[in-house]
Amino acid sequence: MDYSNQGYKEWITEVNFLGIVKHPNLVNLVGYCAEDDERGIQRLLVYELMPNRSLEDHLLGRISSKLSWLLRLKIALDAAHGLAFLHEEMDFQLIFRDFKTSNILLDEHFNAKLSDFGLARHGPAEGVGHISTSVVGTVGYAAPEYVQTGKLTAKSDVWSFGVVLYELITGRRSLDRNLPRSEQKLLDWVKPYATDPKKLHLVIDPRLEGQYCPKSAQKLVALANKCLMKQPKSRPRMSEVVVMLEHIIEMPNVKTIPKALNASSYAIEDDNDKTVNVKERSSFRHRVFELREIIRLRKLDWPVMRLGRTL
């Protein structure tokens, strides 16, 4: 846990937001807790159980199962729905500010949900182009104009979404220091191949073993490139990204590709190669205290802050 003032702000932001906002593609907050000990205040957030872990775990091979091409597209669509909701479907706009594969969690049916809203910020007021804020987030995902100027807009999240699309396509992380220098930065590495349909197969995740629709891959690359346009205003809105992804999924041959992942078993392997059945793990839900029980047992004075208060 982060015991700093920044950590407290992030904790409060997430409690305030997830405590009142519900969406199928946002993770549910089951409860939260804070307690004083010799190290300071210990803070805890309890999410709903997401037995298939994060998208990052799958793409980095921490889990032995493979994500099929269709499943990758579905995860991208779910995540796009989540961002579109934050940007365009609430009474206020929320900019995620730290969109990345480790913050995309997968439930027992591989439905994707966004998590970790500690760095989220309210978008600019109507008629204002951006908000100015300190630069936070993860290297490799943050939009260049945000990194350079601190000017934040919803299009910063769109850039991050484009990076994640390339991670889904290639199976590589956005920045990997373990690779040869010319391949460490994902966007630089794919650039020579992404614009040439004849070379595109060279950057497709080899774990797919050729089980993907080439035309849909070309369309997905084109969408990623739109999200990664240098000028923020040239990038699509997330609602537009949703529509484009839906069209890609409905393309001929996309749904008939043999699946590389047997999702019917819904079993994954942990880091010690122990198979964990989702039904067994789901029983953990019944051992999670609801918020009112946590408050009753801990007898804490909970900090109350309205959503929308500047942190």
Catalytic residue positions, numbered: 98
Buried b (16+ CB within 10 A) or exposed e, 73-107: bbbbbbbbbbbbbbbeeeeebbbbbbbbbbbbbbb
Element (H, E) at 18: helix 5-18
Could you tell me which of 95, 247, 74 has the C-alpha nearest to residue 158? Answer: 95
- How far is CA 211 from its chain centroid? 24
DSSP string, 229-254: -SSGGGSPPHHHHHHHHHHHHTSTTS
Give dist(CA 157, CA 167) in Å, integer.
15
Q: Identity (one letter) of the amino acid at 187?
A: L
- How far is CA 49 from its chain centroid? 16
